[in-house]
Amino acid sequence: MKENINFEENKPAADMIDEEIGGIKGGTIYAIAFVMLAAFLFASCSDNDVPEKDFVEKKVIISLDGINDSISPWMSFTAYTTNQSILRFVKDNDTLNCKDGVLKIPNGSCQTPCQMELYSRSRYPGYIHVGVTYRKRRTRPLPSDDLNVKVEAFRDNLLELDTSFVMHSFKIEDKIKEADYIFSINF
């Protein structure tokens, strides 16, 4: 005995798209949904909706002064940005772009007197950290061993920080702490 199969009841899924749903063809519903989604995406990408955040430009000028032969072998310099933005370093008309935002000058590599400039430009400004380390020890410290550090810091070309500091050498028997031989600022 053969059974009659009603193909209307056992339709493949592909044919259901063309079936009427509430008087609207199924394919039309998908087309309307696609058009609405595309319109929503284009409307959300408008340039007028979200204001662009302005860049903040920072500039730090560091002047180191003292007798080079008495200071340079015991002095080092570090600078970095907290947001890893590019730090541009300028000294004697030479420019170095530190792409990871870190600059290190080891003992003996920084001559005095000198002037160094650091530049940072970012929409999300962290701070620029500048550190000068000077650890010279002598039996009798002399005034000729003094290192003079002057720092000027600008934000968007406006002076915000202007400070000077004198770093001295130490007696051999002195018990010194980190704060005694490191000058640092965060701007």
Q: Domain ranges in the chain?
A: 1-51, 56-186
DSSP code of residue 3: P
Q: Decide: helix, strand or coil at residue 94.
A: strand
pTM above 0.75, yes or no: no
pLDDT at 10: 55
Mark the ranges of the chain whose per-residue pLDDT is less than 70: 1-27, 42-53
Element (H, E) at 15: helix 13-16
Neighbours of 47 (CB within 10 A): 7
Q: Which of 69, 60, 82 is nearest to 132 (CA)?
A: 60
Element (H, E) at 166: strand 158-167
Give the chain's end-to-end CA distance (angstroms, integer): 93
pLDDT at 50: 47
CATH number attached to the domain at 56-186: 2.60.60
User: Residue 106, preceding bond cis, omega within 30 degrees?
Assistant: no
- What is the number of residues in the chain? 187
